[in-house]
C-alpha cells in the first residue's frame, strides 16, 4: 500500500483563503478589521523567522498586524504592562507571545496574563480548562490544524482508535482532548510508555509529536492508518541539513492509508490556524457568527 499524501501546504492555503474571505466580509458588513498582536522578546533567530512569517500572513489575509519587538532584557513587569495594554485595546483581537521566553521571565505568569478571549495560542489555563470540559475555548493552533486535516480526510472520527505520541501542553495534551471530543478512543503515549510499538499498532490514527527524528518506523503502523507527523527535526543526511519528522516517512507511507509529509504537512497549518483563531476571537468579541469549519 502507498499512502495518500495529505498536503498541508495546499490545505493551509485553503484555510487562509477562507479566513481572507471572512475578513473581507467582516470589514464590508460591519466595518471591523481583526487584529493580531505578536510580542517577541529578544532576538532568537528561529523566533524572529516565525514572527516575520506570522506578520506577513496576517496582513495577506487582510487583518491588522501589530508587532512588538522587545529587548532581551525586558523586565517581567514591563512585559506584563504591555499585555495589559493589548488586553484593553479594542483593535487587538488576538495576542500571541512568542515562546520560548528567556529564563528571567515566568512563562506561565505571562501567558495567563493574556485575556482568555484574546489568547489565540490557546495556552491560557482557562482555555485549557474550557477545552478539557468541552466548552467553547481558544484551541492551540498545531493540534487544531491536525484536527482539521483529520476531519477532512475521514469525515467523522467517531469510534476510531487514536494514539497521540507526546504529552506536551502545546501539542500532545490538547490533541488528545480534541480527538476525545470528536469521539475517538484516545491513548496518549510518552517516554515511559511500555511496548509503545504495540500501542501504536492498534491505532487508526497516529499523531506523532515527540521531537525525535524518524522514531516511528513503518512496522509500528496498522495497515491503512492515518499518520499525522507533527515533528520537526533538523538532521544531517548525505552531508546536507534536512528537515524530517518523527515518523520514518518512506516505511510509514508504505503501510499507512494517509500521511502528512515533513516539511509540507502540519507545519504550514499552524500559522493558518492562528489566523483562523484570530478571526474567531474577533467574531466572538463582536457578537458575530463564528466562521464555520475554522474552529474545533
Ligand atoms: P516536547 O519536547 O514538549 O514533548 C515531547 C513529548 O515526546 C514528551 O511528552 C515526551 O515524553 C515524548 N517523548 C520523548 N521521547 C519519547 C520516546 N522515546 N517515546 C515516546 N515519547 C517520547 O515537544 P513538543 O510537543 O513541543 O513538540 C514535539 C515535536 O513537534 C517537536 O519536533 C516540535 O518541533 C514539533 N512541533 C511542530 C509544530 C508545527 O507547527 N508543526 C508546532 C509545535 C511543535 P515525556 O513527557 O515522558 O518526556
Tell me the per-residue pLDDT of 29-85, one tens digit each, with 9 for 90 and over.
Answer: 999 999 999 999 999 999 999 999 999 999 999 999 999 999 999 999 999 999 999
Indicate which residue's Cα is closest to atom 18 of ligand 1: 191
- What structural domains and CATH numbers belong to the chain? 30-116 (3.40.50.10860), 141-268 (3.40.50.720)
Catalytic residue among 18, 57, 98, 177: 98
Distance, in Å, from the CA atom of 286 to the CA atom of 284, rounded to the nearest integer, reads: 5
Confidence category of residue 28, pLDDT binned at 50, 70, 90: very high
- Kindly state the average pLDDT of the residues 184-209: 98
Is 171 within 8 Å of 208 (Cβ atoms)?
Answer: no
Centre of ligand 1 from the C-alpha of residue 212, in Å: 8
Centre of ligand 1 from the C-alpha of residue 76, in Å: 27
pLDDT reported for residue 18: 98
Best mutation site among 121, 200, 211 for ligand 1, i.e. most ligand atoms within 8 A of its Cβ?
211
99-126 tens-digit pLDDT: 999 999 999 999 999 999 999 999 999 9
Mean residue pLDDT of the chain comes to 97
List residues near ligand 1 (CB under 6 A): 142, 165-168, 170-172, 189-193, 196, 209-212, 230-233, 266-267, 270
The DSSP secondary-structure symbol of 118 reads G
The alpha carbon torsion through 213, 216, 217, 222 (nearest 10 deg) reads -160
Question: Is 0.75 surpassed by the pTM of this model?
Answer: yes
Question: Is 98 a known active-site residue?
Answer: yes
- Kindly state the average pLDDT of the residues 227-242: 96
Atom of ligand 1 nearest to the CA of 215: 18
Question: Is 9 a known active-site residue?
Answer: no
Single out the residue of 197, 195, 190 nearest to residue 212, CA to CA.
190
Is 79 within 8 Å of 87 (Cβ atoms)?
Answer: no
pLDDT reported for residue 1: 62
144-183 tens-digit pLDDT: 999 999 999 999 999 999 999 999 999 999 999 999 999 9
3-state secondary structure 214-276: CCECHHHCCCCCEEEECCCEEEEECCEEEEECCECHHHHHCCCCEECCCCCCHHHHHHHHHHH
* Grid cell of 147 as nine digits: 484536527
Question: Is 195 a known active-site residue?
Answer: no
- Kindly state the average pLDDT of the residues 194-200: 98
Q: Count of alpha carbons within 13 Å of 182, Cβ hemisphere only? A: 23
Centre of ligand 1 from the C-alpha of residue 257, in Å: 23
Catalytic residue among 119, 121, 229, 248: 121
Contacts (Cβ under 8 Å, ≥6 apart) of 234: 241, 242, 243
Amino acid at each position: 500500500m502507498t499512502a495518500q499524501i495529505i498536503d498541508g501546504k495546499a490545505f493551509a492555503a485553503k484555510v487562509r483563503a477562507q479566513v481572507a474571505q471572512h475578513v473581507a466580509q467582516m470589514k464590508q458588513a460591519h466595518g471591523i478589521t481583526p487584529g493580531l498582536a505578536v510580542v517577541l522578546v529578544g532576538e532568537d533567530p528561529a523566533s524572529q523567522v516565525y514572527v516575520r512569517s506570522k506578520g506577513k500572513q496576517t496582513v495577506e489575509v487582510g487583518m491588522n498586524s501589530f508587532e512588538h519587538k522587545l529587548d532581551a532584557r525586558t523586565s517581567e513587569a514591563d512585559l506584563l504592562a504591555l499585555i495589559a495594554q493589548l488586553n484593553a485595546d479594542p483593535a487587538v483581537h488576538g495576542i500571541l507571545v512568542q515562546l520560548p521566553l528567556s529564563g528571567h521571565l515566568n512563562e506561565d505568569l505571562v501567558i495567563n496574563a493574556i485575556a482568555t478571549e484574546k489568547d489565540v495560542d490557546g495556552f491560557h489555563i482557562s482555555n485549557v480548562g474550557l477545552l478539557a470540559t468541552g466548552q467553547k475555548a481558544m484551541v492551540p493552533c498545531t493540534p487544531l490544524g491536525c484536527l482539521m486535516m483529520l476531519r477532512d480526510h475521514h469525515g467523522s472520527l467517531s469510534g476510531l482508535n487514536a494514539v497521540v505520541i507526546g504529552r506536551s501542553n502545546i501539542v500532545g495534551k490538547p490533541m488528545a482532548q480534541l480527538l476525545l471530543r470528536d469521539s475517538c478512543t484516545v491513548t496518549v503515549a510518552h517516554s515511559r510508555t511500555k511496548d509503545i510499538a504495540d500501542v501504536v499498532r492498534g491505532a487508526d490514527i497516529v499523531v506523532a509529536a515527540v521531537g525525535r527524528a524518524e522514531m516511528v518506523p513503518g512496522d509500528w503502523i496498522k495497515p491503512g492508518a492515518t499518520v499525522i507527523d507533527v515533528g520537526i527535526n533538523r538532521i544531517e543526511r548525505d552531508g546536507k541539513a534536512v528537515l524530517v519528522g518523527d515518523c520514518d516517512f518512506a516505511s510509514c507511507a508504505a503501510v499507512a492509508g494517509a500521511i502528512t509529509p515533513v516539511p509540507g504537512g502540519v507545519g504550514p497549518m499552524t500559522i493558518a490556524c492562528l489566523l483562523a483563531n484570530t478571526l474567531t476571537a474577533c467574531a466572538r468579541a463582536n457578537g458575530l457568527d463564528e466562521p464555520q469549519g475554522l474552529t474545533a
